[in-house]
Structure 1
Amino acid sequence: MYTAYDNLCFTGHTHMQVWRQGSYNWAAYSEYNRKTDHEVYTPLSILNLVIHGQKRMYDGQRIHHLHAGDVFLIPACSLVCSEILGRKEGYASINIVLQDEWIAALPPSAEVEIATRQLAPQPHWQNFSAELLDAFNRKSSLPANYVTQKALQLMPATALQMLRRSLSSELPVQTIGEELTTPIQIEDLARQSYMSKATLKRRFQQRYLKSPMHWVWEKRLERSSFLLRTTTLSIQEIAYSNGFENIPHFYRLFRRTYGMTPREWRSVK
């Protein structure tokens, strides 16, 4: 199940360097030489710069296939799955925690969906990645404020708007991630959030532009598509373990969402 990614440390890496403020890791360079997968809850916003190799990031209806040079943005309070592909070139990336105080200083934004997004790999991102990688190679940490400010300066306005809105979450996202395998009703979500059903629906609509249960079913599909690629469990086991009791319905919903059947997705190279 989803594990909090709150100190930039996860299993499976062959090499890691971190930059710290006290005991807190705010930036990390990681290398992997084999296929590795994680289910992640991110309490803070994270910028992911892919140095080499490939991975897939799963976020609801979206499956992002990332390559060297790609830039990936994960807003605060996200549930995502990461599949690092075991290709011969290995995989390496830099993760940066975007500090809340800098994001909070951004102008209030209009309504926008809070979701992961892949930013266009412009030359300025390549220069930024090279600057950070050089500092990691020299074992010379750059100031956190400088790195965060520069990263925000490079982002398009739509990404900044999304980050600004992502700070105002009172929804029990991490708890939902822990309970996706159990029956969840909107009354349960409202109780866990300490708010009425009407307020809960309004908050989900403001943050995700969809209803609470629509979002929950998307997360169940996210985890199902991830497990199809990273485990040998049967399709029926995966469906049942993620709250789908009707297998034909699971097949129809999966195909409508991802454009192929679960079996076809599992066989994609």
Structure 2
Amino acid sequence: MPFPDPQPGAMPPTNGRSVRIALNETARRLEAASDSPRLDAELLMAHALGVSRESMILRHIGDPAPEALEALIQRRLAHEPVAYITGSRAFWTIELAVGPGVLIPRPDSETLLEAAIEYFGARAPARILDLGTGPGTLLLAALAEWPEAQGLGVDASDAALGYARRNAADLGMARRVAFQSGDWTEGLDGRFDLILANPPYIGTDEPLPEQVRAYEPGSALFAGPEGLDDYRRIIPDLRRLLAPGGAAVLEIGWTQAESVSAIARKCGFSIMLYKDLGERPRALLLS
């Protein structure tokens, strides 16, 4: 996108290298490590400046490029995810702290929230369960959508739960949510109006980008040879946890709609398929 000219009185660039020039240079360098080099360059620059991306574009484009940028570029060239470098990731209507040991939120996962909103319509779920909550991604986004709801997030990772609790506190939701260590549905009691889950669904030998395979936790990615192991554990136990009129929404790999639907049908669920923005199968709503 074209950048506005520097505002009158803006500081002159150091050694002739302004933020604008450094962004172009950084984007070219990151082409070797990223599918979105311009966006990555902007996020890293904003982080180095200590401002938001929007503020950088509108107010700091003529400022001197910060010296801290080079170290961030080197980390990205080593394929470290931008979200780990900056320590945060936007998702739905919220901003989440993330870091090593947690799955980075993806825009495709917003499909689950879209499905839940369509299902409940004018109603609102009172109790929400998030299985494999990670840094609280789906649960906290849902609680932001339904301000009167209460939530429970379950994860086997202490690192993920630490981030989830931090995010709940940062978002002012600590009193509305609880997080606990657990193995999917094992040991859970009570009924929930909405159950969300983004379980591991990648086959053990499937190829992945280096920034995913080398940095993100394998326990949040891989689920046996077909990527179906955790669906076989989760789905049969959902009925006892769903309140009357409730629904469960599960993220799936884009090739898994039929396989996961078959598991759900055997458990007596009605199924609705939802596609992501790329028109790929992404979520199944079970009711």
**TM-score, with normalisation over the residues of structure 1?**
0.27
The structure with more radius of gyration: 2
**TM-score, with normalisation over the residues of structure 2?**
0.26
Higher relative contact order (CA 8 A, sep 6+): 1
